[in-house]
Amino acid sequence: MKTYIVGISGASGFVYGKRVVEELSKHGKVNLIVSSTAYTVMEKEEGITKSEFLRSLNSNVEVHSNRDLASPISSGSRLIKTEGVIVAPCSISTLSAVANGVISNLIHRVCDVALKEKKRLVLLVREMPYNLIHIENMKRVALAGAVVMSASPGFYHRPRSVEDMVNFVVGKILDQFGLDRNLYKRWREDETQ
C-alpha cells in the first residue's frame, strides 16, 4: 500500500487539505499532521470541531501531533518509504521555515526530510499578494527540489461551485503523484483526437 504524508498548516483554505486527505486515502495510507492554527481555521471556515473532523477520517488515515518531532515519520529512514509530502494549504510561515531550514514542528521536519531524501514535496501556498521575501522563499524551496503550487483554480473546465474549484486544485496536486482522479476535465478532454 502506498503511503503519503499530508500537512495542513494554518493558512486559509483548510478545505484543500481536507480534500487531499479524502482523495489520497482512496489510494493508500495517509499520515496526517494538522497544526493547531489549522484546527482554528477549520472551525471558522468549515464550521466543524476538531473531534468531528477526526471522526470523519477513514481508517487509512493516521493522525500525528505537530508537536511530536520524534514521530516515526520524522525520520528519513521511514519517510523514504513514502510517496512524499504535501502541505495543503501551506502558510507563508511554513514556506519560510522550509526555505530556511527552520524546524520547530513536525510539518517543518517532514518537509526538511523530504528535501534531504529527494522525495516529492508539494507546497500549496495559500497567500496573496506575494512580497519579494515570499517569492525568494518559493525560489529557494523550488531550487531545493520542492514543487510550489498556488491555490489558483482554472476555469476552462467550467466550474459550477466552490467544490469544483477546490477539486481542480486538488486534482493538480494528485497529478504530481501520478494518481488517477476524476475531479475535473482536463484541457480539451471532450474533444476527439
Q: Does residue 37 sit within a domain?
A: yes
Q: Does residue 190 sit within a domain?
A: no
Q: Does residue 181 sit within a domain?
A: no
Determine the structural domain holding residue 7 and report its residue range: 2-175
In angstroms, rounded to a whole number, what is the distance separating the alpha carbons of residues 39 and 175? 27
pLDDT in tens, 14-44: 999 999 999 999 999 999 999 999 999 999 9
Q: Does residue 186 sit within a domain?
A: no
Total domains in the fold of the chain: 1
pTM: 0.94
Q: Does residue 28 sit within a domain?
A: yes
In angstroms, rounded to a whole number, what is the distance separating the alpha carbons of residues 119 and 86? 11
pLDDT at 190: 66
Strand partners, 102: none
Q: Does residue 30 sit within a domain?
A: yes
Q: Does residue 148 sit within a domain?
A: yes
pLDDT in tens, 88-144: 999 999 999 999 999 999 999 999 999 999 999 999 999 999 999 999 999 999 999
pLDDT in tens, 144-172: 999 999 999 989 888 999 999 999 999 99
CATH number at residue 69: 3.40.50.1950
Q: Does residue 121 sit within a domain?
A: yes
Mean pLDDT in the chain?
94
